[in-house]
Structure 1
Amino acid sequence: MNLAALSTPAALVDVARMNRNIARMQQRLDALGVRFRPHVKTTKCEQIVRAQIAAGAQGITVSTLKEAEQFFDKGISDIVYAVGMVAGKLPQAFLLRRRGCDLKIIVDSVQSAESIVAFGREHREAFEVWIELDVDGHRSGIDPEDERLIAVGRTLVDGGMKLGGVLAHAGSSYEYNTREALVRIAEQERASAVRGAERLRAAGLPCPVVSIGSTPTALSAEHLEGVTEVRAGVYVMFDLVMHNVGVCDTSDIALSVLTTVIGHQEEKGWAIVDAGWMAMSRDRGTLRQQHDCGYGLVCTEAGDVLGDYIMSSANQEHGIVARIGAADKSIAERFPIGTRLRILPNHACATGAQHPEYHALSEDGALETWPRFYGW
């Protein structure tokens, strides 16, 4: 199959861009002297993860236990499930470990730690558990200075579990757009995670792993003293949010949605395409950034950005392409019915999740179909 024969809408992966992104991140973290454990929730795709591992990644991070199951079935065993564990999911995690998966789980409360201890004792399983730290007030985790950190650690160790380390994610890094701010939040993430590890060790508790990461901080950190590994995910594709943050160019964005012009509203300056929010997702991540791209930035079929044209709004299976600012009353001439365009996504994870497969486009024009994993 070639691009001309591909039905729309379709999720395209520019393989050359993807490989450059993979090499860029791996080379950076190799230079900083840390292990890289990519977060595979962005793509949930075996072929892409194989490329990351071939470049030097060691282990993976997942956001669902279904991802862990799917990738373990494909032979990848070193896995961190980076969502807080609750009692109801322990049987699923237990079965994975009994099958030979080196699955690590995380907690940020004494209650969850006690649940793991109770289940582990009942089933004679010493789970490896990492404690999630809150390094920026963005989401989950324990403040590194909070006494609960030591309490969780003691609960796990006294209960016979393996305390593997600490894990942090500076999600607030997505809110910045200057080099200075990104360097600052990257150092805050590093220093806070290292501080949490030091407090555990000072209390006589083991903490071999210090795991941090987000795409902006991984690409902005000036040093990673005290860190053992970094996790990042969206870097493999990049997207418009990352472009607005300032860590990639539009020419680095490897994921796009191929779509076809199916009609016009000329007086409004609209071209109607067959990719709506079911193809792009409802993610409006650029809305509060300095450049709002609607539901995505419009490119030619070949992938070249077309100036100020965006997908300004979207229904389920219809998208509206328009020019930012003054309406383009000649849009029907510019994009006749049948014109094929590519739309760069706001959020690669969300757009990818709308599609059952990727169509991987090589530089020579060849296409391969790469399935995605689904479910929890």
Structure 2
Amino acid sequence: MNNLADLTTPYLLLDPEKMRANCERLQAHMNKLGVPLRPHVKTAKSVDIVRRMIPAGRGPITVSTLKEAEYFAEHGFTDMTYAVGISPDKLPRVARLNRAEVTLRVLLDSKAQAEAVVAFAKMERLSIPALIEIDCDGERAGLQPGDDKIVEIGRILHENNQLAGILMHAGGSYHCPDKAAKQAAAEHERMTAVAVKQQLLDAGLPCEIVSVGSTPTAHFAKDLTGITEMRAGVYVFHDLVMAGIHVCSTDDIAISVVATVIGHRPDKGWIMTDAGWMALSRDRGTAKQEVDQGYGLVCAMDGTPYPDLIVANTSQEHGVLALRKGSKAKLPELRVGSKVRILPNHACATASQFQGYVVPDGDELVFWPRINGW
């Protein structure tokens, strides 16, 4: 590949310098706070990208699917946490990885899961380390701090030497637009984690790993005393949701979908493109934010946003560009065949629509493949 103009649209364009700056920003903050970063690779799902996030190339990483775990194991990564509640039918795949010199931790929040993991591990004569999931803000799965089941589950796991620690995700931080609220969410996440660790210690149980994380709390945490690792994922690219809550600016967003203008509806104030929801995803994560970005913010090919121009609607392969409701801006003159870049609401969802990334590399273009599926 030599020229963006020669590529068939829609395609996913990655700015490697913005990605590098995003990674360096969060890593510098974690270095300052003295806590290791365990990046969540569910956003990138590409070894070409994750090797740039973790130069050592063996981990630690967080995965959201076993396919990710298997893919990264094939590329030499050996320290992983599977941060989705485990179901017993997936344990044979977990076992195959743990037998292949990979440490893959599983996540659970029920006695039934703990008993299934322990029974399977005993039957297979191996150890499957497990983390207990804690709900710190009512946004996700997990046990409430202080729940007696935490100790009960901890004892089940510890009897077979499988209790690795605790894990939580501050999903509520995605609803915190102001700095003080994000800082408060980060501190609440930390204090919850420390309290649950103490609950286990008071019961005579170990708690080696205290894992917290979300992209907003990772960036706005001021103190991580008592925390052993931070997880975050979307920071590698950022997106309009993160810009909408002021974790980043729109200029920090490292990926965009390149689309071609295929028609006009002047009677409706529409410009039609070839990037519908199959390219952009149906994610409407900015709908309840201060600024609704529709299905994506439209930019010129140099990355400059057109004033108030968003993807207002989509069908499977059509994107409808229109001015934001109430805007006094003028619809740009984009002829049929013109190219635009569309910044995504949710980087994870949009990237999952593609098989890989088109990446400018000096005067050349390279393609970094990614994996999808489960």
TM-score w.r.t. length of structure 1: 0.96
Deviation track 1:74-131 (CA, whole Å, cap 9, x = no partner) reads 0011010001111111111011111111111111111100001111111111211111
Cα gap change, 1:89 to 1:279, in 2 (>3 Å) = same
Count of aligned positions: 373
Deviations 1:174-209 (A, max 9, x none): 011000110111101011011111111111111111
**1:341-362 C-alpha deviation (Å, 9 max, x unpaired):** 0000000000000001111124
Partner of 2:149: 148
Distance in 2 between residues matched to 1:318 and 1:195, nearest whole Å: 50
The corresponding residue for 2:65 is 64
Q: What residue in structure 1 maps to residue 351 of structure 2?
A: 352
Q: Which residue is 1:32 aligned to?
A: 33
CA contact (8 A) 1:269 1:329 kept: no
- Does the 8 A contact of 1:240 with 1:250 survive in 2? yes
Q: Which amino acid in the other structure matches residue 350 of structure 1?
A: A
Superposed displacement of residue 327, structure 1: 7.9
User: Equivalent residue for 2:182?
Assistant: 182
Whether the 8 Å CA contact 2:307–2:329 is kept in 1: the answer is no
Deviation at 1:325, TM superposition (A): 2.9
1:32-77 per-residue CA deviation (whole Å, 9 max, x = no partner) reads 1001000000010111100000289941000001100000000011
Provide the rounded CA distance (Å) in 2 between the counterparts of 1:74 and 1:32.
Answer: 30
How far, CA to CA, are the matches of 2:98 and 2:317 in structure 1?
A: 42
Map 1:88-237 to 2 at 5 A. Answer: 88-158=89-159, 160-237=160-237
Deviates more, 1:49-58 or 1:238-247: 49-58
Which runs of no fewer than 5 residues in structure 1 stay unpaired? none
> Which residue pairs with 2:78 in the alignment?
77
In structure 2, the CA distance between the partners of 1:145 and 1:329, relative to structure 1 (3 Å rule), is closer
Are positions 1:48 and 2:46 aligned together? Answer: no
Shift of residue 164 of structure 1?
Answer: 1.0
Cα deviation for residue 2 of structure 1 reads 2.2
- 1:268–1:327: 8 Å Cα contact kept in structure 2? no
5 Å-filtered alignment, 1:239-258, equals 239-258=239-258
For the 8 Å contact 2:215–2:232, the answer to whether it is kept is yes
Structure 1 counterpart of 2:352, one-letter code: A
Contact 2:212 2:229 in 1 (8 A): yes
**Structure 2: stretches of 5+ with no match in the other structure:** none
SS in 1 for 2:220: coil
- Is 1:261–2:261 an aligned residue pair? yes
SS at the partner of 2:267?
helix
Change (3 A) 1:157 1:326: closer
SS of alignment partner, residue 94 of structure 1:
helix
Shift of 1:222: 0.8
Corresponding residue number in structure 2 for 1:6: 7
Counterparts of 2:156 and 2:5, CA distance in 1: 59
Distance in structure 2 (CA, Å) of the matches to 1:361 and 1:339 = 20
Cα distance in 1 for residues equivalent to 2:134 and 2:20: 32
- 3-state DSSP of counterpart to 2:320: strand
Task: Answer whether contact 1:129 1:164 (CA < 8 A) is retained.
Answer: yes
Once residues 58 and 112 of structure 1 are traced to their aligned partners in structure 2, the CA distance between those partners, rounded to angstroms, is 26
Which deviations, in whole Å up to 9, do the C-alpha atoms of 1:293-338 show, x marking residues without a partner? Answer: 110000001111112000000010000011113589974x611111
Q: Which secondary structure state, in structure 2, belongs to the residue aligned with residue 275 of structure 1?
A: coil
Could you say which residue in structure 2 is the equivalent of 1:292?
292
Amino acid at match of 1:157: H
Deviations 1:240-268 (A, max 9, x none): 00001110000000010000101000121
Which residue pairs with 2:339 in the alignment?
A: 340
Query: Which amino acid is the alignment partner of residue 127 of structure 2?
Result: A
Report the RMSD for the aligned CA atoms in angstroms: 1.6
For 2:328 and 2:242, locate their aligned partners in 1 and report how far apart those are by CA, in whole Å.
28
8 Å Cα contact 1:26/1:55 also seen in 2: no
| 8 Å contact from structure 2 (residues 323, 329) kept in 1 | no
| 8 Å Cα contact 1:133-1:141 kept in structure 2 | yes
Residue identity opposite 1:368 in structure 2: V
Q: Distance in 2 between matches of 1:214 and 1:55?
A: 23
Query: Does the 8 A contact of 1:267 with 1:329 survive in 2?
Result: no
SS at match of 1:54: coil
1:359-370 → structure 2 map (5 Å cutoff): 359-362=358-361, 364-370=362-368
